[in-house]
Structure 1
Amino acid sequence: MATPSTNTKTLDHIVHLSPPGSIEETSRQFCDLGFKVIPGGEHVGGLTANALVVFADGLYLELLSFTHEPSHYPPGSPARVKRDTHPWANKPLGWIDCAFLGNGSHTIRISDIINDRAKKDGSGAFYEAEEDGGRKRPDGKVVRWLISAPQGNKGTLPFFCGDITPRDLRVPTKPPANVQHPSTTQGIAHIRIVTDAKSFPVISKQLTSVTGQEPLSSTPIEAVWSLDSHSTTSPWLILGTPSNELENAFAKNVGTGIVEVGFLVKKRQDNDRHSTPYGRIVWVDEGHDD
């Protein structure tokens, strides 16, 4: 058996939240944007369900929604408490989180590796111990993984998802049609996180602690890290202060979060920028800097 990896900078997937019970509608909307959408399933516990957009580079989008509004559950019931205290329960709709690849190990834990760094560098980027998670696919197959999330549900830091069952059960890149998109999207070019000027140096230090590497470039208003993927592509993680009216409004209304996701495409689109109903996307020519 191979020794569990200690790499903490491999991008795994990006999470997009839509209104409760809207997975089918959201799937249609992403199809209209030029993505091939694959049914996902309901997560353990039944609080959330998802659909997937899988790319040739092995990365994917998780289109997620809660199965019901909070009012569906009796006040004070265990299910209502779980619904109300879910880490994403009060997130604004759109790009809400991203996951890095964990190693699926309860012994050589990613959380321990990052927490040791955080103690040494004083970044405060501490993670919870790994917890079991999973879902049942529409074909009945059960997928299992380990999750480690930032302490205090810091939405600016990635969580880690490490597979217990084979990753191809969770991320179905086969048959080849699963990763063939009308938009010609091949993978993720970048994730852009926006924050205010006061928070910027703190979050920059935390992301350095999490990834285990200094930024490729860093100024007082923007820092860029190069992440690993499941192929030869190297997505960029960009942290910046607001650079336009849209980002100023985002920072004011949402706070710190993912404002934009860039997608690598073979065929340039007529319009570089589009929006899902709740988030911004950018088309980036494959092989070109964005």
Structure 2
Amino acid sequence: MSEGLSTRILDHIVHLSPPGTLEDSADAFRKLGFTVTPGGTHADGQTANALIIFADGTYLELLHFTHAPPASTAHPWAHKPPGWIDYAFLGNAGTPSVADTINRRAAADGSGVRYAPEVRGGRTRADDGRVLEWLITAPAPSEGNGTRASARGRLPFFCGDVTPREWRVPLEPRSNAEHASKARGVAYVKLLVLPSELDAYAKELTSVLGVSPAASSASQVVWELERQPSDSQPYQAPTLVLNAAEEYEEEIYVRERGAGIYELGVAVEDAGKAGVAYTPYGRVVWQAIGSR
């Protein structure tokens, strides 16, 4: 791993709703007790977002396509079903290259992972018109069965700020990160994969994260992630959890959507709130702080 470069700082999780339904999605999250902060329109004009910002510095990106994307579009999220579709780790402004760092690891351990060179992205904030810029480092499509399969959503992408991160993730005013649900941050991100693919998927993720799992069994692998630099919370940092789909519902989920995010664990202060909640398209588990 390149000195000074971490590739295991959780940045945000992406929740997709159907084209033109961003405000409906925001209302659904508000009803779950989340404060929703205005986002803006991305530089390509195809997508727009709103944010749910947590005190630990992570956030949820509520995203929609402003119009139904054409079948020919190359946008990596255009043909994803609604729900949890992708997750990002914190990148950098380009030096050292996140892609080069991960690709060197993958070549050494034979995981087959490959990341494409960084590309510039950005959006204009809806509230004040400020233009934000970043670099995206994303997994490259893989060749298989004569097709080019996308690894987006299976492996994380990286978002590295060119403009200050606080422009992209406004933790001030503090009310942006205060939620009626008493949510304080991300407890875990849970991925699902078919049992036959568990070992290979775990090897890929180890290449990306640059550390060995903290725990593993025949059906689950867990990695400890690092805190956001802005995070001063007293509780445990998030974890990345990879589970083999064992129940019928889980297997159907993976077969229909592919391996990737199944569930988001949200750390809450209220011990009595523990349990499962649902957005219109995604699964949330409230986890009391200190119960892990």
TM-score, normalised via structure 2 length: 0.91
Corresponding residue number in structure 2 for 1:65 = 64
Identify the match of residue 121 of structure 2 among 107, 113, 133.
Answer: 133
Q: Is the 8 A contact 1:189 1:234 kept in 2?
A: yes
Work out which of the residue numbers 156, 165, 170 in structure 2 matches 1:167: 165
Match of 2:90 in 1: 101
Q: Which of 71, 81, 86 is equivalent to 1:92?
A: 81
2:271 aligned residue: 268
Amino acid at match of 1:130: E
Q: Tell me if the contact between 2:195 and 2:246 (Cα under 8 Å) persists in the aligned partners.
A: no
Which of 210, 220, 223 is matched with 1:222 structurally?
A: 220
State the Cα distance separating 1:247 from its structure 2 match: 1.3
CA distance in 2, matches of 1:170, 1:149: 19
The alpha carbon displacement at 1:192 in A equals 0.6
Secondary structure, counterpart of 1:198 in structure 2: helix
Cα RMSD over matched residues? Answer: 1.6
Residue correspondence of structure 1 range 47-86 to structure 2 within 5 A: 47-70=46-69, 81=72, 84-86=73-75
Letter in 2 for 1:55: F
The Cα shift of 1:215 comes to: 0.4
State the alpha-carbon separation in 1 of the partners of residues 53 and 111 from structure 2.
33
Conservation of the 8 A alpha-carbon contact between 1:4 and 1:103: no
Instruction: Give 1:268 shift.
Output: 3.1
AA matched with 2:8: K
1:16-61 deviations in whole A, cap 9, x for unaligned? Answer: 0000011111110100011000010000010000000000000000
Distance 1:198 1:114 in 2: 24
- Cα contact 1:94–1:278 (8 A) shared by 2: yes
Partner of 2:192: 194
Q: For structure 2, list consecutive stretches of 5 or more residues without a partner in the other structure.
A: 142-149
Q: Tell me how far 1:5 sits from its aligned partner.
A: 4.2
Which of 130, 133, 136 is the equivalent residue of 1:144?
133
1:236 aligns with 2:239: yes
- 2:188 aligned with 1:185: no
User: SS state of the match for residue 102, structure 2?
Assistant: helix
**Contact 2:102–2:115 (8 Å) recurs in 1:** yes
Identify unmatched segments of 5+ residues in structure 1: 72-79
2:248 alignment partner, one of 245, 248, 269:
245
Between the aligned residues of both structures, percent identity stands at 47
Contact preservation (8 Å) 1:17, 1:94:
yes
The 3-state SS of whatever aligns with 2:52 is strand
Q: When the two structures are superposed, what TM-score results if normalisation uses the length of structure 1?
A: 0.92
**Does the 8 Å CA contact 1:100/1:160 hold for their aligned counterparts?**
yes
Matched residues, number: 276
Kept in 2: contact 1:204–1:223 (CA 8 A): yes
Cα distance in 1, alignment partners of residues 69 and 100 from structure 2: 34
CA distance in 2, matches of 1:273, 1:243: 18
Q: Is the 8 A contact 1:156 1:256 kept in 2?
A: yes
Could you tell me how far apart the structure 2 residues matched to 1:256 and 1:70 are? 23
